Amino acid sequence: MLEPGKLAPAFSLKDEQGKIRTLEEFRGKNVVLYFYPKDDTPGCTREAIGFTHLKVEFEKQHAIVLGLSKDSVDSHQKFCIKHALDVILLSDPDGKTVEAYDVWKEKNLYGKVSMGIVRTTVLINEEGVISQVWSNVKVDGHAEAVLEAIKAPQ
């Protein structure tokens, strides 16, 4: 279970360009790590666009935004191009990071039960410690809420 005050699980994943990214490379910055179910679906697209629109504001707070799903590098690249996204998207095809962050869960949609990523955002501080967790995220206004949390005095 993810809890504030605990060390964030490390990861080493490819981004939308195929470049290996690790949590450690962002040490010294706040990391907004948002988990989303699938590229190019309505909610996931709105969420990615929301974070893209606020990228400069996040950077002013020494924060980097990383989106993560099980989609492939190729899928992420197409998603970024199609919607002019300017956030780093990480590919976790084997689901190890998704499981390490405990966001792979049973979901019930219209009576159909399946496993999938529960939309979750984890704020990781400059030392790699979890500051805040948003579970079962509602997309509209979420990027703004995360930005406000970073701005708030700790």
Active-site residue list: 44
Q: Report the SS3 class of residue 57.
A: helix
> Which DSSP string corresponds to 72-113?
-HHHHHHHHHHHT--SEEEE-TT-HHHHHTT-EEEEEETTEE
**Sole residue written with tokens 């990781």:** 124
